[in-house]
C-alpha cells in the first residue's frame, strides 16, 4: 500500500513539474483548478481549470 502511494505521489509531482516547465504558472493554476474541482465535486471549478489548460495547449495552434 505504501509503495502505491509513493509511486502515485512521484507521478503527481512529475506531472506538475512538466506542466510548470511547459506552460508556466498559468498551467499550474489550471491543473490546480481541475484537480480541486474534481476532488470537491464542483463542476464549475473543474471546468474553469480544463478550459484554462485547453487554452494554454491550443494557443500555439491559434
Q: What is the pLDDT along the chain (62 residues), one digit of tens a residue?
A: 788 888 888 888 888 888 878 888 888 898 889 889 989 999 999 999 999 989 988 877 65
For the chain, give every domain's residue range. 32-57
Phi, psi of 41 (to 5 degrees): 60, 45
| Contact criterion met (CB below 8 Å) for 33 and 52 | yes
Q: What is the pLDDT of residue 62?
A: 59
Q: Would you call 40 helix, strand, or coil by DSSP?
A: coil
Q: What is the pLDDT of residue 60?
A: 72
- Taking the alpha carbons at both ends of the chain, their separation in whole angstroms is 44
The model's pTM: 0.72
| Contact criterion met (CB below 8 Å) for 45 and 29 | no
d(CA 9, CA 52): 24
Amino acid at each position: 500500500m505504501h509503495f502505491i502511494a509513493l509511486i502515485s505521489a512521484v507521478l503527481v509531482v512529475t506531472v506538475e513539474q512538466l506542466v510548470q516547465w511547459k506552460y508556466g504558472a498559468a498551467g499550474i493554476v489550471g491543473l490546480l483548478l481541475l484537480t480541486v474541482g474534481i476532488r470537491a465535486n464542483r463542476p464549475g471549478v473543474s471546468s474553469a481549470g480544463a478550459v484554462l489548460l485547453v487554452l494554454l495547449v491550443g494557443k500555439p495552434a491559434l
